[in-house]
Structures are given as C-alpha cells and as structure tokens.
A and B are shown apart, each in its own frame.
Chain A
Amino acid sequence: DVKVTQSSRYLVKRTGEKVFLECVQDMDHENMFWYRQDPGLGLRLIYFSYDVKMKEKGDIPEGYSVSREKKERFSLILESASTNQTSMYLCASSFAGHLATNEKLFFGSGTQLSVL
C-alpha cells in the first residue's frame, strides 16, 4: 500500500517561530500537495509540486513556502508562524500519469498545528 507519512501528528509552536512540516511518500509519485483543513471551509490547497524543485501556488499560499529537494519529500514552511495558521495540515501525493487512470490522491494522517 502507498504510504504518505507526516512527521508529526500534533505540533505546538509560538508566534514568530519558523515551522517545518515534513511529508514523505514511498510510491515514487511525481505530484505532492499541501492542503489546509479548517471547520466549515473544507480543504484548501496551499502549494503543490509536480516534480523535484518544481512548485506551484495553490489557492492560499500567503505566509507559506515549500521545498522539494527529493522526489519523496515535500516540506511546508511557515517562515513566521501566526495564530491564524493554527489548523490541520494534510499532505497528499499522486501519480502524474494519464488523468483518467491515475488521479487518485493518497493522503497522510495530518498534522494538527497550534500556534500560540
């Protein structure tokens, strides 16, 4: 089975800290995504990457950056954490093959981040 692993299940940080959220997948997927999940808003895309060192902004990239130095790892970075970044963060990955057959997203179990 495909495994998408997020390094922390719960994380508590202070305002202004630099925060790294790590995600690793073991199926050689080209695409990797970072979503943010908030009550009443569903999942919103922050950034995605379709290849090593490639990235594209999603719908809410402000306050975030990403890094993809190796194919299996996609990091989300909060340069200076703020209280409005308290949320559940979900990482996902997928193949980049023909869309009709390979569009399934595989998700990690999420990191609940609290910024105090």
Chain B
Amino acid sequence: AQTVTQSQPEMSVQEAETVTLSCTYDTSESDYYLFWYKQPPSRQMILVIRQEAYKQQNATENRFSVNFQKAAKSFSLKISDSQLGDAAMYFCAYRSAEYGNKLVFGAGTILRVKS
C-alpha cells in the first residue's frame, strides 16, 4: 500500500519570505499523481498544485512550486513571497494512475505566517 509522510508537523515563515514544506511517499508504481491541498481555518480543502509523475518538469502555480524528485520519492512545496492568507494546514496526497480515484494523504503540516 502507498504511504505519504510529512515530517514537519508545524512550520513558521515571515511574511514575504519563502518556505518549503516536505513530503515523501512510498510506492512501487511508476505512474501516479501527487497533490498539495490547503485547508484554511474555514476547513474548506483547496487544491494548490498537482504533479503528474511522468512529467519531469516541476509544476508551478503563481507563488507555489514543487520540487519533484521521482527517484528519491520526494515532493516538496515551495511558497514564495508568503502572505498571511497562506496560513493553513497543508496536506500532501498521492493517487495511483491505475487503481482508481482515491487519494492517500499525509498527516499534514501547519503553516504559520508571521507579520
């Protein structure tokens, strides 16, 4: 079974600075998808960014980018120019390309943004 590990329970960043959230995963599959979801205090989960495993190029979405290292099974999220609105719980998630629609989530990282 696939597992997703987020080793940082909490992180802090100063407003306008850059922060990186770590995620590693374990799988024997070669084709899969990886995601970062954000959960603000409203509890509404929001998709931040996704990466297809067959793509070597790292995904980017405005201030959010990933460092995808397939051989190392690592998928970190970099947030540049951090804003107060980025404060949330961030979840890394894995989905098999072959075996259906369910996501496997990590334990989450709480990100605090200081003004």
Spell out A's residues near B (CB within 8 Å). Answer: 31, 33, 35, 40-45, 48, 50, 58, 88, 90, 92, 94, 96, 99-100, 103-105, 107, 109-110
Contact = CB atoms under 8 A, between A and B. Distances in A.
A11 to B, nearest CB: 14
B86 interface: no
Given A41-B107, A103-B95, A33 B102 contact: yes
Contacts of A94: 101
Nearest to A48: B102
A48 B108 contact: no
* Chain A interface mostly: strand
Interface of B: 4, 6, 9, 33, 42-45, 47, 50, 52, 91, 95, 97, 100-108
A110 B43 contact: yes
A99 B52 CA distance: 11
Q: Which of B43, B97, B100 counts the most A-chain CB atoms under 10 A from its CB?
A: B43
Given A107-B44, A109-B44, A42 B102 contact: no
Nearest to A33: B102
